[in-house]
Structure formats: structure tokens, C-alpha cells
Amino acid sequence: MKNKIRDITVGGQKYAWGVARYNKVRVWKDNKLIFETVNIGKFNITPRTIANLIIAKDEDERKKIVEIGCDNPYIEEEEFVIHRYYNPYYGDNRICKCHHPYYRHFDTYENMKSIGCNCCSCEHFEEKYGE
């Protein structure tokens, strides 16, 4: 694939592209170099990848396209989630700042998941001290 110039039409515009030394993708329009990507390593370049690189708004978006790749059917994202549940050892008779007991802040139908107070709009349990 190296040193081979190929044609591609994106949005009715004709472009030329090729993979240069050190696995850099170069794209030309009207014999002028439009952009050159960073080293893409062993990433498999497809016409769809080139089209996405041409359509990209800026260099950051192009880098993201090269990192993610267009051969992967999924864009993966990690998510960090904290689930809060009822602690039976904490003490049911402790009172929240909303003046309701601890156990009222959990859903008995959802495995005792924290849902906020059943009696008012209190979002989470905060123990009331010495008032």
C-alpha cells in the first residue's frame, strides 16, 4: 500500500491519498497537500477511514479517528459508576437532616438501592447531629 496514490470522492469533491513513510496518511486536493496524519502504526487504512479523515473538522478530530479506527464496529467508552445500597449494620434508627429515619432512604423493591428519602425530596442520607 505504501507509495501508491489512490483517488477518492467525498461529498462530490475529488481527493488523492496515500500512505507515506512511517505510516503517515497524506491527502491532497488539486495537487496541494491538505493534511498529513501522525504515525498510524499497524492501523488498517480503508477508504471509509480516509473519508472520515477528510470530513473531520480539525486536527484533534483526525487524531481521534486514527486512534479509534474505522474497522472497529464500536466506539468504546469507559464509565465509572458508584452504586449505593442499604447498610444493615449502620442502624435503622439514625435520623437524617430531613428528620426521617435511615431506612426510608432506600427502595425495598430495588434490592435496597439508595433512592433518596421516601417521605420528602431529600436526595441522600446525612445524619443529623445534636440538634
Cell of 84: 449505593
Q: Tens-digit pLDDT profile for the chain (131 aa)?
A: 456 788 888 878 888 888 776 677 888 888 888 888 766 665 667 777 788 888 887 878 777 776 666 556 665 566 778 888 888 888 888 899 998 998 888 888 888 888 888 888 888 888 888 65
Tracing cell 477518492 back to the chain, one arrives at 8
Residue ranges covered by each domain of the chain: 6-68, 79-131
DSSP secondary-structure letter at 103?
G
- pTM for the predicted model, two decimal places: 0.43
Q: Would you tell me how many other CB atoms lie within 10 Å of the CB of residue 76?
A: 6
Tracing cell 512511517 back to the chain, one arrives at 22
Interior CA angle at 18 toward 17 and 22, to 5°?
A: 140
